[in-house]
Structure 1
Amino acid sequence: MKKTACWLGLLSVLGTSGAHAANQEIRALFQPDPSQPNKNVFINKTPNSGYCASHPAQCADNNMFSIQVPIRFSSFTPMFSGNGVWVKVPSEWRQLNVINHETQQTSIVEVRISGIGSKFQLSKPVTELTGQTDVLEGHRKLWTGNSWVYAPPPCQYSGVGYYSPTTYQFFWKTPQPGTCIKTAAFDVGHMSFEYLDIAYELRTPDPLSMSSGLYTGSLTYSVGRGSADFTMGPFMGADDGNLTLDFVLDVQHTLKVDLPPGGNRITLQPEGGWQRWLNSGRAPERLFSDQTFHISASSRFKMYLECGSGTVTACGLWNEGTNYGTPIIVSVTLPNGLTDTSGRPVKRQELFPQESRAIVFQPGIYVDRKPGTLHFEIDKANTERILKADRGNRYSSTVVVIWDSEI
């Protein structure tokens, strides 16, 4: 019996940086978990940097991840009282296609930016700009609406605010699209934002619907002024024009079949055994045997037969004395959680020789070492024929049942 293992997951493409574009990898992984067979989701494996690295509990509660991107914004003209910093990020859901270049199968990943932060640098101490002697009070007075720990709507407060006389580190949540404006209450002069802390959320495809392999795709955001996806308003220029998120989906599926010891030797008998038939003097209705196996599966797979003897339509058993044959019917019953491609339970689904006639099955959940049954049968007409014609001779052959994840 041939068994094929199939592996599937969500990984990342390494990013590269250039003078006018920044790349950032996003990694995730699917592996079936026997302890949680109903939890069929990708796990983000991208190391957190920035906000979520410092506040992991906050991000875990909001299903949020963060990356710190080396994109710098700088004012290209002095900022005066009444000027503002207009923070806008792509907080709406956006889609990208990822493709398995071996199978050409595609899936959709969705991503949204759910938070933004940075550390701004002032050209002069905040006490000098505002006339305040206390640094914290200076940061509070420099902007209308208090310091940068307080996010203007539609952005939301996250509790992050670290400061020095010339710097302020902040982070805001962005639950909905819009521009969050901080207006200067004093002349600020030149200022810069040293990096971007970007929090993001992911919607990944159902890994059980995907075949094995790596899926890659990219999503590019514009960075700068005006209508750019990421902007700090009309007074701030960026040193990168684009930010590209590169994805690789590496889904690691399981397909494993186990037979009990001796389960590869099948003996066909009538209902109740041969003695019952011999005592009654009647021909049995059929000869059959049911063989239990255990299967673990998290991806689609196909089944078909390879025959030691037979025809293109059925495997056969051969009479050892006369070399005459009889067809044998092989079918399969699969455990709950595995269905045919129409979503129906699999009960005595007949299997056929040749890969071109393979039957495809699919999981609704991860099935971990659940029992199924192979059914071997000679029908009534052929049972009667061989018992009359070849009484006392043994029929034998080899039938290979194949589970194959390569679809």
Structure 2
Amino acid sequence: MNWQAKRSRMMWCGVLPRLWAAALMGTVAGTAAAAQVSIQASFAPSALEPTRNAFTNDTPNGGLCTRLGLCSPDEKSVQLPFYVSYGAFSPSADLSNQAFFRVPSAWRKVQLVHAATGRTAETEWRVSFFGSTYRLPRSVHDITGHPNVSQGHHNLWQGYAWNYAPPGCGSMNYAEVSAFILRYGWRFPESSPTCTKRTNFAFEAGMLLTDVSIGYVMRSPNPLAMESGEYTGQLHLRLGQGGDFDFGNNARPSDSELIINFTLTVSHEFQVTFTEANPKVSLAPVGGWSQWTVHGKAPPRLQQELPFLLTSSNEFSVKMRCEHDVSGRCGIANVATRDVVPIDVDVTMPGMRAMHSGGFAQNTPLVSERSGQVAPRFTPNSYLQNRHSRLRFAASGPAVAEMLKAPQSRWQGDVTVVFDSEP
């Protein structure tokens, strides 16, 4: 006697991803009121680094990170398309007559939206240093009394030359200097967004900051929890007095706003591989039929496992489409009488976790698509490549008893298991 459950199709719906991370590329704003730059990052799984669950910042460096050794491994820098002009300077204690700097050194949250589905993710970003070229009027040559270039810059500013950071900031030990020009960089700790450079002399002509650049660091979202595709977002930062970038009352930025455009691209891998294109499952007792055929002892359970290989770096659901639906489960039918009994189907995927419970994907029951129940959804602990997994099909209890009432009968049905990476 032979009862056979037939499994005709195995479908996997994987969004072959392009994912996201952000890179910062300088883009001009021209004469508009807002300057703009772009940050681009990406994620693609790697078999060489299966535990790497982070975006790669693809933004080309601009500004001070192009100088060897000035930036830490997690920093990038970008040239900003605006300049800052200063009015008259006075040696008074009033900060409005000094070179005052405030930058967004605290973490800022940026919401990212998937272009196709509208799903959201969040990245964090902050400024770690500020640099520019400061240009002095030639009249300053007459008031500093400098015998050489470096001494002239030292004499002009309290606390030595501009490349020495004022209290609250950190020096980058970098300067390119001539008589009226000095290129520099100052670090801004997360807890200290402001610092002020004071002059020792009054001069009416002010000065100009050009070649403005910032260093930045990012905390990217978990790409394994994001679907493939492109995520975009913007961070709007005000320039000027009281703004996110504040250069003091004595300064006039050329733009009133800086817009940072983020584009994060996720490119997942997702593949389910069976040994056969249309695998078949034959239900049988564990250990064979001898207990029934020889001793007449009814088996408590008929089952068969169906192995497959799973490659995945993103979350997905697993659900069933049944030829015969029986109370939220699939069924198999007596070919002769069309009587139907339910079967149980579960899945085991090492390295995957159920998103609802957080537990391992081990013997997780599957439900029919027509049941109205939410299909179980899983997420990987890391990038999985050709991970040995299995589906298990079983009939037990009353279903087996019903089948044994019809000796020599044949039972079959189609079950389609869908691996779906869409939400």
From 77, 83, 102, the equivalent of 1:66 is 77
Report SS of the residue matched to 2:242. coil
1:172 and 2:172 equivalent?
A: no
Partner residue of 2:330?
A: 315
Given the superposition, is the C-alpha separation of residues 281 and 92 from structure 1 closer, same or farther in structure 2, using an over 3 Å criterion?
same
From 118, 124, 127, the equivalent of 1:104 is 118
Partner residue of 2:376?
A: 359
Shift of 1:116: 0.2
State the distance in 1 between where 2:275 and 2:150 align: 73
Report SS of the residue matched to 2:151. helix
Give, as a single letter, the amino acid of the residue that structure 1 aligns with 2:71: C
Give, as a single letter, the amino acid of the residue that structure 1 aligns with 2:38: E
1:400 and 2:416 equivalent?
A: yes
% identical aligned pairs: 32
Partner residue of 1:79?
A: 89
Partner residue of 1:347?
A: 362
Shift of 1:96: 2.5
State the distance in 1 between where 2:112 and 2:294 align: 66
State the distance in 2 between where 1:178 and 1:310 align: 63
State the distance in 2 between where 1:205 and 1:260 align: 36
Given the superposition, is the C-alpha separation of residues 74 and 377 from structure 1 closer, same or farther in structure 2, using an over 3 Å criterion?
same
How do residues 179-194 of structure 1 correspond to structure 2 at under 5 angstroms? 179-188=194-203, 189-194=205-210
Partner residue of 1:255?
A: 270
Give, as a single letter, the amino acid of the residue that structure 1 aligns with 2:234: S
Partner residue of 1:4?
A: 13
How do residues 5-404 of structure 1 correspond to structure 2 at under 5 angstroms? 5-6=14-15, 7=17, 8-11=19-22, 17=29, 18-55=31-68, 57-61=69-73, 63-76=74-87, 78-81=88-91, 83-124=97-138, 127-175=141-189, 176-188=191-203, 189-224=205-240, 226-261=241-276, 264-311=279-326, 313-354=328-369, 356-357=372-373, 358-389=375-406, 391-404=407-420
Structure 1 outlier segments of 4+, above 4 Å: 11-16, 80-83, 125-129
What is the aligned length?
402
TM-score, normalising length: structure 2: 0.87
Check conservation: 2:28, 2:81, Cα contact below 8 A. Answer: no
State the distance in 1 between where 2:156 and 2:325 align: 88
1:28-85 per-residue CA deviation (whole Å, 9 max, x = no partner) reads: 1122333333331222221110011223x44234x21111102111123x33455531
Given the superposition, is the C-alpha separation of residues 270 and 281 from structure 1 closer, same or farther in structure 2, using an over 3 Å criterion?
same
1:376-400 per-residue CA deviation (whole Å, 9 max, x = no partner) reads: 01113222322331x2233233211
Shift of 1:168: 0.5
Worse-superposed segment, 287-296 or 357-366: 357-366
Shift of 1:373: 1.7
Check conservation: 2:64, 2:70, Cα contact below 8 A. Answer: no
Report SS of the residue matched to 1:280. coil
State the distance in 1 between where 2:174 and 2:232 align: 34
Unaligned runs of 5+ in 2: 1-9
Unaligned runs of 5+ in 1: none
State the distance in 2 between where 1:258 and 1:145 align: 68
Q: CA RMSD in A?
A: 2.5
Report SS of the residue matched to 2:231. strand
State the distance in 2 between where 1:13 and 1:75 align: 28
Check conservation: 2:23, 2:60, Cα contact below 8 A. Answer: no
State the distance in 2 between where 1:158 and 1:197 align: 14
State the distance in 2 between where 1:262 and 1:288 align: 21
State the distance in 1 between where 2:140 and 2:410 align: 98
Check conservation: 2:91, 2:200, Cα contact below 8 A. Answer: yes
1:319-364 per-residue CA deviation (whole Å, 9 max, x = no partner) reads: 3444443322211122134224121223322212216432222334
Report SS of the residue matched to 1:35. coil
Worse-superposed segment, 323-332 or 137-146: 323-332
Give, as a single letter, the amino acid of the residue that structure 2 aligns with 1:249: L
Give, as a single letter, the amino acid of the residue that structure 1 aligns with 2:80: V
